[in-house]
């Protein structure tokens, strides 16, 4: 990972740790709406590749009432290059998690799950049209991960070995 001032302008804007952090936080919140135990760390690694990639985000935004597994089944193009995209996004995910942790936005429970802390992030979803879309899809993804309730199933569905 390059130092912040040595990164290209586009990378600094698109993968801003604060923005990526808010996207991850929305996924945490979505997960907790279905399962109050908190999200497993390994599932959080899939959030940014799903929410920041425009094609996958649009497909999920157009189908907010459908199950994630059904969306993937009906749109297999979402899986093309997903494993590589996830690997490439890991440094940005870790950086965003670092910002969230530094700000006290989540805690790690004794069983290794991540839980949000109240009153650390604004409840209202604001920003540009695209940033709002990213946040809403992240919440959807978090909820769907909680409904599936099995990390191995989620990883296998996306073509990634757990």
Domain locations in the chain as residue ranges: 9-157
pLDDT at 46 over 80: yes
Q: What is the mean pLDDT of residues 94-117?
A: 95
- Rounded to whole angstroms, the maximal C-alpha distance in the chain is 42
Cα distances from 72 to residues 19, 26, 27, 41, 92, in angstroms, run 25, 21, 18, 22, 24
Q: What is the mean pLDDT of residues 104-132?
A: 92
pLDDT tens profile 53-80: 999 999 999 988 889 999 999 999 999 9
Specify which residues 40 forms β-bridges with. 113
Specify which residues 132 forms β-bridges with. none
Calculate the dihedral angle through the C-alpha atoms of 80, 17, 121, 57, rounding to the nearest 10 degrees: -20
pLDDT at 8 over 90: no
- Say what the pLDDT of residue 14 is: 80
């Amino acid at each position: 990972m390059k130092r912040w001032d040595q990164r290209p302008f586009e990378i600094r804007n698109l993968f801003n740790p604060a923005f990526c952090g808010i996207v991850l936080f929305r996924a945490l919140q979505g997960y907790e709406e279905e399962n109050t135990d908190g999200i497993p760390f390994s599932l959080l690694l899939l959030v940014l590749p799903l929410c920041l990639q425009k094609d996958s985000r649009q497909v999920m935004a157009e189908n907010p009432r459908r199950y994630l597994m059904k969306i993937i089944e009906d749109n297999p193009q979402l899986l093309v290059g997903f494993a590589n995209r996830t690997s490439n996004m890991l440094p940005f995910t870790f950086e965003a998690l670092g910002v969230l942790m530094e700000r006290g936005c989540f805690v790690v429970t004794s069983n290794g799950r991540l839980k949000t802390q109240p009153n650390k992030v604004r409840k209202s979803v604001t920003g540009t049209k695209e940033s709002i879309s990213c946040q809403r899809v992240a919440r959807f993804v978090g909820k769907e991960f909680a409904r599936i309730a099995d990390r191995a199933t989620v990883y296998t569905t996306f073509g990634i070995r757990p």
